[in-house]
Chains A and B, each alone.
Chain A
Amino acid sequence: SAVISQKPSRDICQRGTSLTIQCQVDSQVTMMFWYRQQPGQSLTLIATANQGSEATYESGFVIDKFPISRPNLTFSTLTVSNMSPEDSSIYLCSVEAELTSGRAVTYEQYFGPGTRLTVT
Chain B
Amino acid sequence: QKEVEQDPGPLSVPEGAIVSLNCTYSNSAFQYFMWYRQYSRKGPELLMYTYSSGNKEDGRFTAQVDKSSKYISLFIRDSQPSDSATYLCAMSAGGGSYIPTFGRGTSLIVHP
Q: CB within 8 Å of B: which residues of A?
A: 4, 33, 40-45, 48, 92, 94, 96, 99, 101-102, 104-114, 116
Q: B43 touching A106 by the CB < 8 A rule?
A: no
A99-B49, A101-B51 known; A106 vs B44 contact (CB < 8 Å): no
Q: Mark B33-53, 1 if CB is under 8 A from A, else 0.
A: 010100001111110011110
Q: Tell me, in angstroms, the Cα distance from A43 to B52 when the chains sit together.
A: 22
Nearest A residue to B91 by beta-carbon distance?
A: A106
Distance in Å: Cβ of A51 to nearest Cβ of chain B: 17
Q: How far is the CA of A104 from the CA of B94 in the complex (A)?
A: 9
Say whether B51 contacts A106, CB under 8 Å: yes
**Chain B count of residues within 8 A CB distance of the other chain:** 30
Q: Do A104 and B34 touch (CB < 8 A)?
A: no
Collect the chain A residues with CB atoms within 8 Å of residue B52's CB.
Answer: 104
Partner of A43, one of B8, B31, B44, B51: B44
Given contacts A43-B88, A106-B98, 18 further A-B pairs with CB under 8 A are A33-B99, A40-B104, A41-B104, A42-B88, A44-B102, A96-B98, A101-B50, A101-B51, A104-B31, A106-B31, A106-B49, A108-B34, A108-B49, A111-B43, A111-B45, A112-B43, A113-B42, A116-B41
Provide 9 A-B residue pairs closer than 8 Å at the C-beta atoms, listed in order of the A residue: A42-B4, A42-B88, A42-B102, A43-B105, A99-B49, A104-B94, A108-B46, A111-B45, A114-B41
